[in-house]
Amino acid sequence: DQQVKQNSPSLSVQEGRISILNCDYTNSMFDYFLWYKKYPAEGPTFLISISSIKDKNEDGRFTVFLNKSAKHLSLHIVPSQPGDSAVYFCAASPGTGTASKLTFGTGTRLQVTL
Amino acid sequence: DAGVTQSPTHLIKTRGQQVTLRCSPKSGHDTVSWYQQALGQGPQFIFQYYEEEERQRGNFPDRFSGHQFPNYSSELNVNALLLGDSALYLCASSLRLAGRSTQYFGPGTRLTVL
């Protein structure tokens, strides 16, 4: 049973436009959410996170939105750049207050075209 | 400031053999988590070590074991290798006492079982 779902395996966006990556979760115990970016032959790189007490967190070109009632979060990248082309993973952890285990989605491959 | 390092980069083993993978956490971090990433999937949590003890474990058999040393580095051991153990093994480090602590990943070890 997949507790974190990324239903879009791939997404193609033109350079300069907005990229929106979506993630759904089923476990109500999750209260901390993260987005990681992964290039081939590298480990995941942390991008941005959000706690369940917030509904939005922004860091430069990256903004994460959390809708707790819908158990849905999204990552917005504005403007998209060719270097953003990578696989993006959504991850979630429960409210233990410590560096708890992460449950990942299956990833969305973003391609930013010129 | 050195990030998370892992060795070796690649490894080829045959069924039934045993393997040891190594991880050095990011400077200042005291918690190490291990993940297995199969092709086309998100990383799956194996276990987490803190203060040289296994603190959390995912749904992996006892063939998977680990160790954490006083300098916080860690090893992942897999016995009686199966073809299905072929995957990218990722190590992530974090600081436990920081509360909601982000996990930072190493580049991974690509294990191929023939």
Domain boundaries, position B88:
5-113
Distances (CA, A) of A52 to A36, A72, B100: 18, 11, 12
* Minimal CA separation from A1 to chain B, in Å: 12
Optimal mutation site among A98, A104, A106, A108, interface B, most CBs of chain B within 10 A = A98
B7 touches chain A (CB under 8 A): no
DSSP letters for A1-24:
--SEE---SEEEEETTS-EEEEEE
Q: How far is CA A15 from CA A58, A77, A79, A81, B34, in A?
A: 20, 11, 7, 5, 35
pLDDT in tens, chain B (114 residues): 679 999 999 999 999 999 999 999 999 899 999 999 999 899 999 999 999 999 989 999 999 999 999 999 999 999 999 999 999 999 999 987 766 678 899 999 999 999
Contacts of B90 in chain A (CB under 8 A): 43-44
Picking from A45, A101, A105, the nearest residue to B42 by CB comes out as: A105
Best residue of B89, B105, B109, B110 to probe chain A, by most A CBs closer than 10 Å: B105
Which residue, among A101, A104, A106, A108, would best test binding to B if mutated, counting the most B CBs under 10 Å from its CB?
A: A101
Q: Quick check: A108 contacting B, CB < 8 Å?
A: no
Separation of alpha carbons A42 and A21, rounded Å: 21
Give the domains, in start order, of chain A with CATH numbers: 4-96+103-113 (2.60.40.10)
* Inter-chain CB proximity A43 and B106 less than 8 Å: yes
Domain CATH for B10? 2.60.40.10
Separation of alpha carbons A22 and A72, rounded Å: 7
Domain count, chain B: 1
| Chain A interface includes B94 (CB < 8 A) | yes
B30 touches chain A (CB under 8 A): no
Tokens of A59: 């860091």
- pLDDT digits (tens), chain A, 114 positions: 789 999 999 999 999 999 999 999 999 989 899 999 999 888 999 999 999 999 999 999 999 999 999 999 999 999 999 999 999 999 999 865 555 789 999 999 999 999
Chain A touched by B42 (CB under 8 Å)? yes
